[in-house]
């Protein structure tokens, strides 16, 4: 399986600050070659107060640039021996990244960005505001497309989402190849959460040959399932329903992938995170195959778990994946 969204770089950086790598060691043990073969790994940014609440109190320090933080996590990927996993390095929330920084970060290995998280920033906004891309945001997104950086739409509010799509169309008109996808968003019609996507939004992604990563967080799969402690079998059935709904909307499986956005490492901040994942972290591939065999052929399951995401990885890396091997 390829996991289209996991905050691995964030956890690497907090582990570095705390000098405690127990979580990363468990990641290495669980994310083995027979389970997950690739991951889009995010370094997350949000408002300073939110970062203090969600992560380490010194997670973002104004005296340390995002570029320096990125260098640290890149080095840690190599030093901690993250096995033979394809890593796409991504930044989630570009609040502290300037346009000129994109060139440097691209050279360091950055291949994808989410311009916004939940709050508004200098480029646009997530769902806690209704503004679209700012003028600076339009330039920022277009330059990302010029570099070949993928634009992840999963946290953008409707206006910001639509504006990014329009910039992507503009980039296409001048013979660029804009890469857009939603790494961890489900179907709004099946679960009315603000981060899930409407049919109109989903079709806009498909129109640009983008990918939608349906993610296995029960709160975005089945409404109120966390609060009501809904039986896991029912939530898994609903997750498959999201896949089947999108297949019907798209007329096939080519633009559908899977992701976890597993946040169990934040359980010390909020114990509810322990109950969010549908699938067990270390056996997710087997569990997915087991439930999907009731609906799809092995070839189509391979497409959902690996093939479609691998095509995205190849686009982002221009056939040159970042491989971190055991020494």
Tell me: the pLDDT tens digits for 231-286? Answer: 999 999 999 999 999 999 999 999 999 999 876 655 455 556 567 789 887 888 99
Looking at domain 2-317, which of 3.40.50.2300, 3.20.20.140, 3.30.1120.10, 3.40.50.300 is its CATH number? 3.20.20.140
Q: What is the pLDDT of residues 152-171, one digit of tens each?
A: 999 999 999 999 999 999 99
| CA-to-CA separations, 230 to 52, 218, 234, in angstroms, rounded | 31, 9, 7
Q: Among 306, 262, 263, which Cα is nearest to 35's?
A: 306
> Can you give the pLDDT at residue 83?
58
pLDDT of 60 above 80? yes
Residue 12: helix, strand or coil by DSSP?
helix
pLDDT at 324 over 70: no
CA distance 119 to 125: 6
Interacting residues of 11 by C-beta distance below 8 A, sequence separation 6+: 23, 24, 27, 265
What does the pLDDT read at residue 36? 84
Q: Which SS3 state, helix, strand or coil, does residue 58 take?
A: coil
Q: Residue 18 is encoded by which pair of tokens?
A: 């705390």
> Within 82-129, where are the H helices?
99-108
Distances (CA, A) of 265 to 207, 228, 258, 277, 281: 35, 23, 20, 12, 11
pLDDT higher than 70, residue 32: no
- What is the predicted pLDDT for the residue at 35? 82
Residues sharing a CB contact under 8 Å with residue 76, sequence separation 6 or more, in sequence order:
12, 13, 15, 16, 24
Three-state SS at 290: helix
Q: What is the mean pLDDT of residues 10-19?
A: 92
When pLDDT is averaged across residues 187-194 and rounded to a whole number, the result is 95
pLDDT over 90 for what percent of the chain? 71
Mean per-residue pLDDT, 128-149: 97
Provide the phi-psi class of 5: left if phi over 0, else alpha when psi is between -120 and 50, else beta.
beta
Rounded Cα–Cα distance for residues 166 and 140 (Å): 13
């Amino acid at each position: 399986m390829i996991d289209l969204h996991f905050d691995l770089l964030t956890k690497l950086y907090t582990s570095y600050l705390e000098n405690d790598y127990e979580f990363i060691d468990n990641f290495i043990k669980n994310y083995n070659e027979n389970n997950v073969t690739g991951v889009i790994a995010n370094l997350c940014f949000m408002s300073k107060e939110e970062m203090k609440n969600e992560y380490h109190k010194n997670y973002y320090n104004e005296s340390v640039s995002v570029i320096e933080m990125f260098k640290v996590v890149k080095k840690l990927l190599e030093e901690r021996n993250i096995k033979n996993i394809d890593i796409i390095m991504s930044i989630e929330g570009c609040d502290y990244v300037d346009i000129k920084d994109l060139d440097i970060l691209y050279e360091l290995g950055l291949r994808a960005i989410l311009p916004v998280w939940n709050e508004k920033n200098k480029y646009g906004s997530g769902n806690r505001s209704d503004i679209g891309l700012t003028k600076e945001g339009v330039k920022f997104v277009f330059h990302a497309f010029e570099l070949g950086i993928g634009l992840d739409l999963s946290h953008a509010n409707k206006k910001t989402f639509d504006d990014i799509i329009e910039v992507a169309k503009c980039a296409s008109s001048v013979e660029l190849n804009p890469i857009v996808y939603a790494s961890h968003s489900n179907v709004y019609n099946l679960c009315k959460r603000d981060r899930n996507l409407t049919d109109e939004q989903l079709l806009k992604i498909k129109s640009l040959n983008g990918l939608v990563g349906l993610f296995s967080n029960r709160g975005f799969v089945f409404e109120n399932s966390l609060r009501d402690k809904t039986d896991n079998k029912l939530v898994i059935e609903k997750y498959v329903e999201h896949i089947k709904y999108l297949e019907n909307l798209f007329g096939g499986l080519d633009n559908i992938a899977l992701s976890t956005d597993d946040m169990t490492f934040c359980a010390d901040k909020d114990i509810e995170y322990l109950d969010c994942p549908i699938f067990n972290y270390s056996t997710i591939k087997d569990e997915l195959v087991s439930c999907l065999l009731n609906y799809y052929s092995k070839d189509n399951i391979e497409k959902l778990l690996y093939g479609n995401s691998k095509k995205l990885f190849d686009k982002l890396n221009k056939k040159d994946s970042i491989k971190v091997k055991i020494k």
